A and B are shown apart, each in its own frame.
Chain A
Amino acid sequence: MAVEQPQAPAMARAGEQTRIHDIGYRSYDGPRLGRAYARRSLYSQSLRGAYGLGRSAKSKVLPMLLFVVMCVPALIMVAVAVTTKANDLPVHYTRYAIIMQAMIGLYVASQAPQAVSRDLRFKTVPLYFSRPIETADYVRAKFAALASALFILTAAPLLVLYVGALLAKLDFTDQTKGFAQGLVSVALLSLLFAGLGLVIASVTPRRGFGIAAVIAVLTISYGAVSTLQAIADAQTNTGAVPWIGLFSPITLIDGVQSAFLGANSAFPGGAGPGNGEGVVYVLVVLGLIAGSYGLLMRRYRKVGL
């Protein structure tokens, strides 16, 4: 909560009974920082909002809780690695987000509607567009804010792992490389999930629907994809496994990182895409991110005043 700077002289503040009713209107001659500043302000407000900062205590609970839940396993792994003097971390950097995908999904489902549905529901959007910003500024600020929030959520445990690995005196080069690969992977994941989440949430002004829709899209697609992959694998049709993986967000990220970021695929039988298929994965991920941005731009083109 922003703390109000007392405008009245100190002596007037002394007694709360004292009220200055009219000290006249003061005009503002200071700087007006314009469109880029407004976009940054919207970005920082939305990013803070994604963790409930500047909002009610109740809205801080879920994002903060998810953040803690994301980090605790990393802390435990680090503690284990340090005490047992292990040669390597129990989980690879790139694998961490895949394991914790349910938490990431929950976070997107709860915070994407928070970022856009509220503005739609309470019709705050027209107010934004009566300011210097344009449609693109609003979309970029919201997209960047949610992607940053997701990056914080997914990169923080990796940082814990990395710092822990260094404390456990594991090989510096190996760990740094793994950490960097992990960061690239979660950065892509953040952009992808933020885009999908915002597109879905921006369709409805109802927060509940938004939450349900995001969860549905993420879990149903993942459920269907992993089931089909398991069937394909059981029928020893291993060639189909990577192609099926193109149809859910988390398996897309898995595919990209197993092809290019040195990760072991979580697909059945570890049958991640090869380099050729990996290019398709990267293209699909980038296409989805760009497509989400395009759809959001279209969604907000008609400004409902």
Chain B
Amino acid sequence: MIATESLSKRFPRVTALDRLSVDVGPGVTGLVGANGAGKSTLIKILLGLSPATEGRAEVLGLDVATKGGAIRERVGYMPEHDCLPPDVSATEFVVHMARMSGLPPTAARERTADTLRHVGLYEERYRPIGGYSTGMKQRVKLAQALVHDPQLVFLDEPTNGLDPVGRDEMLGLIRRIHTDFGISVLVTSHLLGELERTCDHVVVIDGGKLLRSSSTTDFTQTTTTLAIEVTDTDEHPDGTRAMREALHARGVETHQGDGLPGAGHILLLTAQGDETYDLVRDVVADLGLGLVRMEQRRHHIAEVFKDDERADAQVSAPDARKEAVGHGG
């Protein structure tokens, strides 16, 4: 869908993108970064609106430097900021934007009605946009990005300014854009947690550099961590410790789940397959302990980036990123 190759964008004073090479396939892709990380600059370049200083980029197989118009015909864009005139109705506005994308008048009206219904605007679509709530405005912005049935949409901070319920609805809608509508999505956010639930793939950039690009299933499923909690008995006053030692004797490394509630009583170990579950069961039975819990713990993306953060100390703006990670957890 999108491919960039050592893409750089330098302004006189700042480097917005620094030799960014990234491949984005179909599906929902999250583009994460703190404010000023270069997300909007990247979108601008991908829409063919701003020339890259060096490197190249392709969207849907079209070169952004030469085929901007063709790209913009097949791509939708939802800006981060407010962009709606208050004195027209959602229907009129979206019809107009559909025609601006090249749809003939009749098709523009039909697609507008369809799209507004899909984003969840019903009777209110005939009223002037000025009277809409933030959530409704976000839906209109989304509708104008989808109305011409693009192959790919860029959504710039679509959950900005929404309350938790509105946020969930918007994320659900974004998921549906791919699963139901068959449109690939590139969605930016500075909140990792949101993207974890919504995206198939996450690209993290910071200071214009690629920090990480991997699928969310990589993060969260390939290494399953088991969390185990056992009871204490008279025989084993510290059940957790007895459990740990017994597991260790059988060659299974465990560690404490630090930073979690009740961390002292929880053991984390890496599951290699069904044998691990059997082993835990057997050990618990042998020791005569009660098994309070044995559950798969999904890694949160945030944890994955915590490692990066430690390793990658020279990256600028660590405060901003910490904040992002904090939200994500």
Which single member of A19, A27, A124 contacts B149 (CB below 8 Å)? A27
Contact A45 B49 (CB under 8 A): no
Contact A122 B84 (CB under 8 A): yes
| Interface size bracket, B side | 35 or more
Q: How many angstroms from the CA of A149 to the CA of B43 in the assembled complex?
A: 36
Interface membership of B315, Cβ < 8 A: no
For residue A16, give the distance in angstroms from its CB to the closest CB of chain B: 9
- When distances are taken between beta carbons in the complex, the residues of chain B under 8 Å from A26 are 114
Those of A21-62 within 8 Å (CB) of chain B: 24-28, 30-35, 37-38, 41-42, 45, 54-56, 59
- Looking at the complex, which of B91-99, B283-291, B305-313 is the stretch in contact with chain A? B91-99
- When distances are taken between beta carbons in the complex, the residues of chain A under 8 Å from B87 are 55-56, 59
Across the A-B interface, the 3 shortest Cβ-Cβ residue pairs? A28-B149, A130-B77, A41-B99
Known contacts A33-B102, A37-B102, A38-B102: does B92 contact A127 (CB below 8 Å)? no
Extra pairs beyond A56-B87, A126-B83, A130-B75 (15, CB < 8 Å): A7-B113, A25-B181, A26-B114, A28-B107, A32-B73, A33-B103, A37-B102, A54-B88, A55-B87, A122-B82, A124-B85, A131-B73, A131-B101, A132-B72, A132-B101
Contact A28 B101 (CB under 8 A): no
Q: How many angstroms from the CA of A131 to the CA of B99 in the assembled complex?
A: 10
Q: How many angstroms from the CA of A118 to the CA of B87 in the assembled complex?
A: 10
Q: How many angstroms from the CA of A5 to the CA of B92 in the assembled complex?
A: 13
Contact B109 A4 (CB under 8 A): yes
For residue B282, give the distance in angstroms from its CB to the closest CB of chain A: 50
Contact A31 B104 (CB under 8 A): yes
- When distances are taken between beta carbons in the complex, the residues of chain B under 8 Å from A127 are 77, 79, 83, 97, 100, 144
Known contacts A2-B109, A28-B103: does B79 contact A123 (CB below 8 Å)? yes
Which single member of B79, B89, B148 contacts A126 (CB below 8 Å)? B79
Contact A132 B114 (CB under 8 A): no
Those of B58-96 within 8 Å (CB) of chain A: 69-70, 72-73, 75-77, 79, 81-89, 91-92, 95-96
Interface membership of A129, Cβ < 8 A: yes
- When distances are taken between beta carbons in the complex, the residues of chain A under 8 Å from B148 are 28, 32
Contact B84 A124 (CB under 8 A): yes
- When distances are taken between beta carbons in the complex, the residues of chain A under 8 Å from B118 are 25
Q: How many angstroms from the CA of A56 to the CA of B86 in the assembled complex?
A: 10
Contact B69 A134 (CB under 8 A): yes
CB-CB nearest in chain B for A21 = B117
Interface membership of B9, Cβ < 8 A: no
Contact B79 A2 (CB under 8 A): no
Total interface residues in chain A, CB < 8 Å: 42
Interface membership of A12, Cβ < 8 A: no
Contact A305 B110 (CB under 8 A): no
CB-CB nearest in chain A for B43 = A305
- When distances are taken between beta carbons in the complex, the residues of chain A under 8 Å from B201 are none
Contact A131 B88 (CB under 8 A): no
- When distances are taken between beta carbons in the complex, the residues of chain B under 8 Å from A1 are 89, 92, 126
Known contacts A1-B89, A122-B82, A305-B49: does B96 contact A32 (CB below 8 Å)? no
Q: Can you list 24 A-B contacts (CB < 8 A)?
A: A4-B109, A7-B117, A25-B181, A27-B181, A30-B104, A32-B73, A32-B103, A33-B103, A34-B69, A37-B102, A38-B102, A41-B99, A56-B128, A122-B84, A123-B83, A124-B85, A127-B77, A127-B144, A130-B77, A131-B101, A131-B102, A132-B69, A303-B50, A305-B79
For residue A127, give the distance in angstroms from its CB to the closest CB of chain B: 5
- When distances are taken between beta carbons in the complex, the residues of chain B under 8 Å from A4 are 91, 109, 113, 126
Contact B107 A30 (CB under 8 A): yes
Contact B97 A131 (CB under 8 A): yes
Contact with A along B112-146 (1 / 0, CB 8 A): 01100110001000101000000000000000100
Q: How many angstroms from the CA of A50 to the CA of B147 in the assembled complex?
A: 26
Contact B180 A25 (CB under 8 A): yes
Q: How many angstroms from the CA of A127 to the CA of B79 in the assembled complex?
A: 8
For residue B147, give the distance in angstroms from its CB to the closest CB of chain A: 9
- When distances are taken between beta carbons in the complex, the residues of chain B under 8 Å from A129 are 49
Q: How many angstroms from the CA of A5 to the CA of B103 in the assembled complex?
A: 16
- When distances are taken between beta carbons in the complex, the residues of chain A under 8 Å from B180 are 24-25
- When distances are taken between beta carbons in the complex, the residues of chain A under 8 Å from B106 are 5
Contact B96 A33 (CB under 8 A): no
CB-CB nearest in chain B for A135 = B49
Which single member of B69, B81, B96, B144 contacts A45 (CB below 8 Å)? B96
Interface membership of B55, Cβ < 8 A: no
Contact with B along A234-245 (1 / 0, CB 8 A): 000000000000
Q: Which of B100, B103, B104, B110 has the most CB of A within 10 A?
A: B100
Those of B124-178 within 8 Å (CB) of chain A: 126, 128, 144, 148-149
Interface membership of B318, Cβ < 8 A: no
- When distances are taken between beta carbons in the complex, the residues of chain A under 8 Å from B209 are none
CB-CB nearest in chain A for B99 = A41
Contact A131 B182 (CB under 8 A): no
CB-CB nearest in chain A for B141 = A127
Interface membership of A170, Cβ < 8 A: no
Q: How many angstroms from the CA of A38 to the CA of B99 in the assembled complex?
A: 6
- When distances are taken between beta carbons in the complex, the residues of chain B under 8 Å from A56 are 87, 128
- When distances are taken between beta carbons in the complex, the residues of chain B under 8 Å from A54 are 88, 92
CB-CB nearest in chain A for B76 = A130
- When distances are taken between beta carbons in the complex, the residues of chain B under 8 Å from A119 are 85
Contact B100 A128 (CB under 8 A): yes
Q: How many angstroms from the CA of A38 to the CA of B148 in the assembled complex?
A: 12
